[in-house]
Structure 1
């Protein structure tokens, strides 16, 4: 990805005319996997993540002339984050899927990879929704601080301080490995 935009997403159709549906379809095909991963990291539930991605893509399609002028992936990511915030506001609490119920990705298949993923999911669950959103976008999606600030509509200082506190909590959560102590 260059500048937050997948390279294979055309901005103009090859004929020089603007074909909204074809252009959006190409964008959707290229961006859906990244959006699904982000949505899952934000909510921790596969079904909710799929719904969030669909809703974000519908809203992006409706605003496609505006979204395509800038960075359509950033626009869709911000829509995704805003939709997730809306669900927090509606339900006033967040219920994450138990790590044992999290579907395994086709990564490597080794037990070590799964154990690390489980540790990360559990550590992310300890963060506040805002911290998780910023840490996921900044460090797992690889966006710059400025891009995260622009995507979420917050100041650069908020991104820096929230990411710092969130990473500190993650370090603590990840360093607190379960230990068995014998009492004698």
Structure 2
């Protein structure tokens, strides 16, 4: 069975080749992975690579789906959620973030939010990232995480409450109820 991706562009109306898909979706997948991992650049890169490799193996079927990008997001989130179950690592978590160029927003707020995100459970973090950073609907988030819509609503409500409690009163005006 030939799994090699083609380098020729897809014909008009045909599904994109895997290389076209990976080139177009790598950056959005990385952004989501970065947020899910709480700012761990290397783990985010590993998650994207793992998700794309899983997509590659099934590309013939996946390319015919109505929304292969949504499927890729689901694969990425599921890979993130299953990471701790299959990982026996001796890596040590650090509170230091690599220096990254920030072109917009408040860098201190960004770091504070990333640190607060690390304090919520993995499942709650996945819900918050998909709902609020990826701006997905409750239904899309539920489908991606294989939860009910009511579970997504209650998890996001509780997780936002935990974030507000961690961030304290100084952030109350930025995150109204």
TM-score with structure 1 setting the length? 0.76
Q: Spell out, residue by residue over 1:14-37, the C-alpha distance to the aligned partner (whole angstroms, 9 max, x if none).
A: 35556xxx6221221111111001
Residue 159 of structure 2: which of 163, 166, 171 is its match? 166
Provide closer, same or farther for how the CA distance between residues 16 and 168 of structure 1 changes in structure 2, counting only shifts above 3 A. closer
Question: The residue matched to 1:85 in structure 2 has which SS?
Answer: helix
Count of residues paired in the alignment: 160
After the TM superposition, which of the residue ranges 128-137 and 84-93 deviates more from structure 2?
84-93
**Cα distance between partner residues in 1 of 2:137 and 2:29:** 17
More helix per residue:
1
> Structure 2 regions of 5+ residues with no counterpart?
1-8, 171-177
Q: Is the 8 A contact 1:96 1:125 kept in 2?
A: no
> Structure 1 regions of 5+ residues with no counterpart?
1-11, 178-184
Q: Which residue of 2 aligns with 1:29?
A: 23
After the TM superposition, which of the residue ranges 88-97 and 163-172 deviates more from structure 2?
88-97
**Cα distance between partner residues in 2 of 1:95 and 1:70:** 41
**Cα distance between partner residues in 1 of 2:112 and 2:14:** 49
Tell me how far 1:74 sits from its aligned partner.
1.2
Tell me how far 1:42 sits from its aligned partner.
1.0
**Cα distance between partner residues in 1 of 2:169 and 2:99:** 24
TM-score with structure 2 setting the length? 0.79
Q: Which residue of 2 aligns with 1:86?
A: 82
**Cα distance between partner residues in 2 of 1:152 and 1:95:** 28
**Cα distance between partner residues in 1 of 2:71 and 2:101:** 26
Provide closer, same or farther for how the CA distance between residues 140 and 95 of structure 1 changes in structure 2, counting only shifts above 3 A. farther
Over the aligned positions, Cα root-mean-square deviation in angstroms equals 2.6
Q: Which residue of 1 aligns with 2:6?
A: none
Tell me how far 1:176 sits from its aligned partner.
4.9
Question: The residue matched to 2:100 in structure 1 has which SS?
Answer: coil
Q: Which residue of 2 aligns with 1:61?
A: 56
**Cα distance between partner residues in 2 of 1:70 and 1:97:** 40
Q: Does 1:136 align with 2:132?
A: no
**Cα distance between partner residues in 1 of 2:13 and 2:70:** 24
Residue 71 of structure 1: which of 62, 67, 70 is its match? 67
Q: Is the 8 A contact 1:56 1:79 kept in 2?
A: yes
